[in-house]
Amino acid sequence: MKLIIQIPCYNEAQTIIETVQALPRQLPGIDELEYLVVDDGSTDNTAQAAQSIGVHHILRLPHHVGLAGGFMAGLEACLDLGADIIVNTDADNQYNAEDIQLLLEPIQAGRADIVIGDRGVASLDTFSPLKRYLQRLGSWVIERASGVRTPDATSGFRAITRAAALRTIVLSEYSYTLETLIQAGARRMAVQYVPVRTNTQTRPSRLIRNIPEYLAYSSATVLRAYTMYRPLRVFTTISFLMLLGGMVGAIRFLYFYFTTGGAGHVQSLILSAVLLIVGFQVFLIGLIADLIGFNRKILEEVLYRLRSLELGGNSARPMPNHERPPTNDR
């Protein structure tokens, strides 16, 4: 069984050496263990630093694509390199590398497709009280949206099987953590959480620059992903609220019509008619979106089979570190 530990990086020359040195060299049940550093268009010496400590594979992206793009590029590279299990960890050495074995155990036992490290965000000392509250709230929202028990929605410390990786598609340009959970729940994948330890923070989070921006991006990601996989539920809910508002307005108008003649309440009747018409149209849109969703599932299944065939062959692979020609920083 082959395990590849992927590390998406962006300007992590100061921390990547410490992160890689902490990684395990061998693990029970793993025949081959390799590291892949995804250099997401860094402008410092991240790639050279990784190369200096003997990382097996270095994938340099031509420009900065963001966390989600770097994660997906690494996933594709790991699949191309023949990984049976992929572990994703952060380049800032946030997670205790000794806990990688905890991530692997449910997969090796056949109980899970995806295993995620639970940092215990409700009591994490490195988080402010507001951030701890928002993390708990966000995890609760994702749990409701995905149907998957989610104590730590934003944890990037995770292990994923080859089959699950082949089915993973991230469309968000912000982060992969939330979207992949909703996607896993929609596809009935077995997702487990295991408690993991964290190390002392080496730098502030680049993903959460400020709370309003984080809330805006995360909310948009969750709403878009949930609508993609549960379109009928979303549009039916909106339709029901509009139809309910229209019926309330219509009943109000009828009440005044039979008691006082309805003079001066024509506006309520017009508003009710608009809400009823729009509500019905939204419901029809939901039906169409649901049909499109079935078509998307068929396309995803076709894509899964194509990726399985392509990545199972002798396609071009990222060059191992010792075979890579020296690269210059941009």
pLDDT tens digit sequence for 178-192 = 889 999 998 889 999
In a domain, 287, yes or no: yes
Say yes or no: 120 and 170 in one domain: yes
Domain tally for the chain?
Answer: 2
**Model pLDDT, residue 84:** 94
Supply 19's token pair.
């992160």
Instruction: Examine residue 320 and state whether it is found in any structural domain, yes or no.
Output: no
Report percent pLDDT > 70 for the chain.
89
Task: Judge whether 328 lies within some domain.
Answer: no
Q: Which of 184, 212, 229 is the last residue of a domain?
A: 229
Q: What is the pLDDT of residue 241?
A: 95
pLDDT value, residue 206: 63
CA angle at residue 11 from 85 to 181, to 5 degrees? 40
Same domain, residue pair 224 and 237: no
Residues 160, 114 contacting (CB under 8 angstroms):
yes
Q: Look at residue 44 and tell me if it is in a domain.
A: yes
Asked whether the predicted pLDDT for residue 118 surpasses 70, the reply is yes
Question: Does 27 share its domain with 152?
Answer: yes
Same domain for 205 and 128: yes
Q: How confident is the model at residue 324 (pLDDT cuts 50, 70, 90)?
A: very low
- 245: its two tokens: 């508002």
Tell me phi and psi for residue 257, to 5 degrees: -65, -45
Q: Could you tell me the pLDDT band of residue 158, with boundaries at 50, 70 and 90?
A: very high
- CA 70, 73, 78, 84 torsion-angle sign: positive
In terms of domains, do 156 and 284 share one?
A: no
Boundaries of domain holding 260: 231-312
Residues 185 and 290 in one domain: no
pTM for this structure?
0.79
Shared-domain flag, residues 150 and 252: no
**Mean pLDDT, rounded, for 53-71:** 90
Q: Has residue 183 been placed in a domain?
A: yes
Same domain flag for 117 and 237: no
Please tell me whether residues 66 and 128 are part of one structural domain. yes
How far is the C-alpha of 35 from the C-alpha of 54, rounded, in Å?
A: 9
Q: Are residues 79 and 223 in the same domain?
A: yes
Burial of 236 (0-12, 13-18, 19+ CB in 10 A): middle
* 318 domain residue, yes or no: no
Does residue 294 share a domain with residue 214? no
Handedness of CA 271, 277, 281, 286 (dihedral sign): positive
Residue 321 lies in a domain: no
Question: Does the pLDDT at position 321 exceed 70?
Answer: no
> What one-character DSSP code corresponds to residue 195?
E
Clarify whether residues 102 and 157 are in a common domain: yes
Q: Alpha-carbon Rg of the chain, whole angstroms?
A: 24
Q: Residue 275: pLDDT band by 50, 70, 90 thresholds?
A: very high
